[in-house]
Amino acid sequence: MTQKIGFIGMGIMGQPMAANILKSGYELMVYNRTKEKTDTIADAGALLASTPAELCNWADAVILMLTGPEAIDAVMYAEQGILSAQTTDKVVINMSTVSPAYSRNLKKCLEPSGLNFIDAPVSGSKKPAMDGSLVILTGGPKELIIRYEQLFLTMGQKVIYCGEAGQGSAMKMTINLLLAVMVEGLCEALNLAQLLKLDTDLVLDSILAGHLGCGLFNFKSDMLKQNEFPVQFPLKHMAKDLRFVLQTADEAGAAVPAGHAAFQLYRQGIGLGNGDLDFAAVKKTLEALSDH
């Protein structure tokens, strides 16, 4: 409880995750590229850093919840980045979604500076982040992960140990492949049903009444009934994640035909201007490709 936690990235996920850390009694310092997004957490009592280096100098553990590799590289390697700070006996915990290969490489790049590394991407979106009910998929030295388990449990309901650094990201690739394909599949079925003149509410109620009525489909059903897609997990981030999934699958020699098809549909969603909507807006891509 005496640990000082630094948190970089006050986006959709980072803000509620950081708020839960603060509520649990940890000392917290935050940094975000766009300063205005730190106002709420500062009002709640967090300290503000004006650079990643200032945050790293102060903190024992530095959490990253950023878009992806480009953003992580920016906070790591910039002139006032993490690697320009005092780094001995500290740990970097990357909770952003990246590929396993990027995670393993990041670990290697941190080693010469004496920084320990945990990869800890999350399963769950904005609401579980707010409720503190994320599932945290960890990779790295087990004793280090156990040392930070209480910290993880301020943000999540479960911490899963997946293996060495990079294996948390491998688990995240696996889960997001399934997530992307399941939501695209639901949207594809609903789009067909619409063209067959079935009522969308009735179709969803029928799906949810049987074995297909899983938590995910329940969670997305209101959006699909209302045909409005307020963001939980942005479609543009799902397209980004699928790019990592496809690269990772290719390196592993795994066939992912449905993943390739889903990637094209989410990508087209960005082209249609739906990148900032929830990823269930892939339904709009399917409508655009159909004879409505």
Residues in contact with ligand NAP by CB under 6 A are 9-14, 32-34, 37, 65-68, 70-71, 74-75, 96-97, 122, 125-126, 232-234, 237, 241
Q: Which is nearer to ligand NAP, 59 or 65 (CB)?
A: 65
CA distance readout (Å), 210 to 193, 203, 217, 221: 17, 12, 12, 14
- Residue whose Cβ sits closest to ligand NAP: 11
Distance of CA 42 to the CA centre of its chain: 23
Backbone angles phi, psi at 108, to 5 degrees: -60, -40
Q: Which is nearer to ligand NAP, 90 or 237 (CB)?
A: 237
Pairing of strands 122-123, 134-138: antiparallel
Q: Scanning the structure block, which residue is given the tokens 């009002």?
A: 43
- Where does 111-234 have alpha helices with state H? 126-131, 142-147, 149-155, 167-195, 200-209, 215-226
Q: Which is nearer to ligand NAP, 126 or 283 (CB)?
A: 126
Q: Which is nearer to ligand NAP, 237 or 284 (CB)?
A: 237
Tokens of 26: 């940890």
Pairing of strands 27-31, 4-8: parallel
CB 232 within 8 A of CB 127: yes
Nearest CA to 26 among 53, 40, 44? Answer: 44
Helix (H, G, I), strand (E, B) or coil at 97: coil
172 is annotated as an active-site residue = yes
How far apart are CB 32 and ligand NAP at their closest, in Å?
A: 5
How far apart are CB 74 and ligand NAP at their closest, in Å?
A: 4
Q: Which is nearer to ligand NAP, 10 or 110 (CB)?
A: 10
- Residue 273 DSSP label: T
Catalytic residue among 107, 126, 172, 283: 172
Residue 119: CA count within 13 A, CB half-sphere: 30
Pairing of strands 27-31, 116-119: unpaired
How far apart are CB 1 and ligand NAP at their closest, in Å?
A: 26
CB 232 within 8 A of CB 124: no
Residues in the chain: 292
Q: Which is nearer to ligand NAP, 47 or 72 (CB)?
A: 72
Residues with active-site annotation: 172
